[in-house]
């Protein structure tokens, strides 16, 4: 079971939760489990079976793109989903 | 074994000496010599011969060649009384300096004759009082405060993030603050934009901010740019010379524009962004760490990136994030501590948590990598819209 931190812009898709739990051996498995339960997340996280370019996924504070991408094994550390935010005013 | 006296006498016999009156006459000639002050820093700070170069005796041999490559230049070396300068003159001769004399009686005699003395820029009594809590911190101190007073910081946006950032930077004595913002103060701003106030509604934000800052600290020179930062004006504005940029803008096109310009101008950016209860802060130092494009290569589609105007923001959140930006800015200006370079700080005010994730340089970054593919300004609005369309397709 992996805890996944949901950013404010995606919370509408998961019933307003700040954090949800998901199953999977690697990042891909966790995201697929999430998408299966919250289909609204699909287009916001994945693109052509890969990670969408505008969203960053961190495992234990490290960008999974600098690890093994979607194949990165999960080991009980929290996953953070993070799209860019532009607000400043 | 020779005593100090013997040694000094022997050295003095091997060098040229010049009296204060003669030295002053030489100084007024069409080909004046360079005065070289070899005293300690504390002595220098109390006053020196106008135009003198200061190199403490202990660093003379190691630094002089770099500072003064021309060995034929006429030099008058002085200390407080004429002894340290005698040894210095001997060393300089051994290093090949051909025309060196030591000032007899030193700076003490120069001053006693009533000749001109220059005092280095120091803090005024008012500044000593104003910045006393900074002067007490060893990492800041008088040198650090002088550095802040000589610093130039450009703020993009005089809104939620720009308000606290500008106030704290101004209070800290950052000498020149530039502010870029095209908007006027609106009543919906006042829930969080604390540099403005009710009587400023309808006034240009840059002018309102300037008035507030000048009332807070008259040491600060505020430069206003009542315009939206664009590819057309960015070179003019950045070309005025800034030590760093505090990015508090509210839209993706400007974020990418600020990034590209800062990389090409080699200016560090303290980045902050906010939405509802959450904030992000980091530092982008061109070529030393990641840039904004390394972190977010592509802007999200518009439906995933609502602005504060669309989604709202807790009024105090920009206070937290903008203050952190000011703190990072001061550290960068002072050259102290560990900045957020390479780390993105995530703040959740609702849960009261601070998390951080690491941000790496992207070896394929289109702007800051070794082989950049973007080398001039693009149409940033179009770039962000295209990213949205590609995702929607």
For B322-357, write each residue's pLDDT tens digit: 999 999 999 999 999 999 999 999 999 999 999 999
The answer to whether the Cβ–Cβ distance between B277 and A8 falls below 8 Å is: yes
For testing the chain A interface, which of B192, B305, B317 should be mutated: the one with the most A CBs within 10 Å?
B305
pLDDT bracket for residue B388 (50, 70, 90)? low
Interface of A with B (CB under 8 A): 7-10, 18, 43-44, 47, 52-56, 58, 61-63, 66, 80, 82-89
Tell me whether strands B100-103 and B16-18 are parallel, antiparallel or unpaired: parallel
Q: What percent of chain B has pLDDT over 70?
A: 98
Over residues B191-243, the pLDDT tens digits come to 999 999 999 999 999 999 999 999 999 999 999 999 999 999 999 999 898 99
pLDDT bracket for residue B393 (50, 70, 90)? very low
Over residues B91-136, the pLDDT tens digits come to 999 999 999 999 999 999 999 999 999 877 789 999 999 999 999 9
Handedness of CA B373, B377, B378, B381 (dihedral sign): positive
pLDDT bracket for residue A85 (50, 70, 90)? confident
* pLDDT surpassing 50 at residue B262: yes
pLDDT given at position B79: 97
Over residues B18-48, the pLDDT tens digits come to 999 999 999 999 999 999 999 997 788 788 9
The answer to whether the Cβ–Cβ distance between A88 and B305 falls below 8 Å is: no
**Which ipTM value was assigned to this complex?**
0.94
The answer to whether the Cβ–Cβ distance between B299 and A63 falls below 8 Å is: no
Please give the residue of chain A at the shortest CA–CA distance from B247.
A88
* pLDDT surpassing 70 at residue B389: no
Of B256 and B42, more confident: B256
C-alpha distance from B301 to closest chain A C-alpha (Å): 8
C-alpha distance from A23 to closest chain B C-alpha (Å): 22
The answer to whether the Cβ–Cβ distance between B273 and A43 falls below 8 Å is: no
**Residues on chain A touching B278 (C-beta within 8 angstroms):** 7-8, 85
The answer to whether the Cβ–Cβ distance between A54 and B249 falls below 8 Å is: no
pLDDT given at position B32: 95
Distances (CA, A) of B13 to B8, B10, B49, B97, B98: 9, 5, 25, 17, 16
HEC secondary structure over chain B: CCCHHHHHHHHHHHCEEECHHHHHHHHCCCCCCEEEECCCHHHHHCCECCCCEECCHHHHHHHHHHHCCCCCCCEEEECCCCCHHHHHHHHHHHCCCCCEEEECCHHHHHHHCCCCCECCCCCCHHHHHHCHHHHCCCCCHHHHHHHHHCCEEEEECCCCCHHHHHHHHHHCCCCEEEEECCCECCHHHCCCCCCCCHHHCCCEHHHHHHHHHHHHCCCCEEEEECCCCCCCCHHHHHCCCCCEEEECCCCHHHHHHHHHHHHHHCCCEEEEEEEECEEEEEEECCCCCCCHHHHCCCCCCHHHCCCHHHHCECCCHHHHHHHHHHHHHHHHHHCCCCCCECEEEEEECCCCEEEEEECCCCCCCCCCCCCCCCCCCCCHHHHHHHHHHHHHC
pLDDT given at position B301: 81
Confirm or reject contact between B305 and chain A (CB < 8 A): yes
Across B272-284, average pLDDT: 95
Which tokens is B275 given?
Answer: 């939405």
Which tokens is B361 given?
Answer: 């340089």
Please give the residue of chain A at the shortest CA–CA distance from B310.
A87
Q: Which residues contact B311 (CB under 8 A, 6 or more apart)?
A: A8, A9, A87, B275, B276
Over residues B155-182, the pLDDT tens digits come to 999 999 999 999 999 999 999 999 999 9
Which tokens is B185 given?
Answer: 């103060």
pLDDT bracket for residue A27 (50, 70, 90)? very high
Residues 185-244 of B with CB under 8 A from A: 189, 193
pLDDT given at position B392: 36
A71: Cα separation from own chain's centroid:
13
Tell me whether strands A50-51 and B53-54 are parallel, antiparallel or unpaired: unpaired
pLDDT given at position B98: 96
pLDDT given at position B143: 83
* pLDDT surpassing 50 at residue B282: yes
B223 touches B121 (CB < 8 A)? no
The overall average pLDDT reported for chain B is 93
The answer to whether the Cβ–Cβ distance between A52 and B391 falls below 8 Å is: yes
* pLDDT surpassing 70 at residue B391: no
**Residues on chain A touching B250 (C-beta within 8 angstroms):** 86-89
**Residues on chain B touching A52 (C-beta within 8 angstroms):** 391
């Amino acid at each position: 079971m992996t805890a996944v931190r949901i950013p404010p812009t995606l919370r509408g898709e998961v019933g307003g939760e700040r954090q949800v739990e998901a199953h999977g051996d690697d990042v891909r498995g966790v995201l697929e489990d999430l998408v299966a339960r919250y289909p609204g997340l699909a287009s916001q996280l994945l693109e052509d079976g890969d990670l969408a370019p505008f969203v960053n996924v961190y495992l234990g504070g490290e960008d999974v793109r600098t690890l093994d991408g979607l194949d990165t094994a999960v080991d009980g550390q929290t996953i953070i989903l993070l799209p860019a935010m532009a607000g400043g005013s | 074994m020779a005593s100090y006296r013997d040694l000094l006498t022997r050295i003095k016999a091997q060098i040229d000496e010049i009296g204060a009156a003669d030295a002053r006459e030489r100084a007024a000639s069409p080909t004046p010599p360079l005065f070289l002050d070899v005293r300690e820093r504390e002595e220098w700070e109390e006053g020196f011969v106008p135009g003198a170069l200061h190199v403490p005796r202990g660093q003379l041999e190691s630094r002089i060649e770099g500072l003064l490559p021309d060995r034929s230049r006429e030099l008058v070396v002085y200390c407080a009384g004429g002894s340290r300068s005698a040894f210095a003159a001997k060393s300089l001769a051994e290093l090949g300096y051909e025309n060196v004399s030591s000032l007899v009686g030193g700076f003490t005699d120069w001053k006693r004759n009533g000749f001109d003395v220059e005092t280095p820029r120091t803090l005024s009594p008012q500044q000593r009082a104003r910045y006393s809590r900074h002067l007490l911190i060893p990492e800041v101190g008088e040198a650090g405060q002088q550095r802040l007073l000589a610093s130039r910081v450009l703020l993009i946006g005089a809104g939620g993030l720009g308000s606290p950032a500008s106030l704290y930077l101004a209070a800290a004595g950052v000498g020149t603050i530039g502010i870029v913002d095209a908007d006027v103060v609106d009543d919906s701003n006042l829930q969080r934009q604390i540099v403005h106030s009710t009587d400023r509604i309808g006034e240009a934000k840059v002018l309102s901010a300037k008035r507030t800052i000048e009332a807070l600290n008259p040491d600060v020179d505020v430069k206003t740019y009542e315009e939206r930062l664009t590819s057309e004006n960015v070179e003019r504005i950045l070309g005025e010379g800034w030590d760093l940029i505090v990015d508090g803008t509210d839209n993706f096109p400007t974020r990418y524009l600020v990034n590209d310009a800062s990389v090409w101008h080699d200016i560090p950016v303290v980045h902050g962004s906010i939405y509802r209860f959450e904030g992000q802060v980091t530092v982008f130092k061109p070529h030393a760490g990641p840039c904004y494009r390394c972190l977010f290569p592509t802007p999200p589609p518009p439906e995933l990136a609502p602005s504060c105007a669309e989604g709202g923001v807790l009024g105090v959140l920009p206070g937290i994030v903008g203050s952190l930006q000011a703190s990072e800015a001061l550290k960068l200006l002072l050259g102290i501590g560990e900045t957020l370079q390479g780390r993105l700080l995530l703040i959740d005010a609702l849960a009261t948590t601070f998390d951080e994730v690491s941000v790496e340089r992207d070896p394929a970054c289109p702007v800051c990598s070794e082989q950049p593919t973007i080398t001039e300004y693009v149409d940033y609005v179009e770039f962000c819209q295209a990213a949205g369309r590609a995702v929607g397709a």
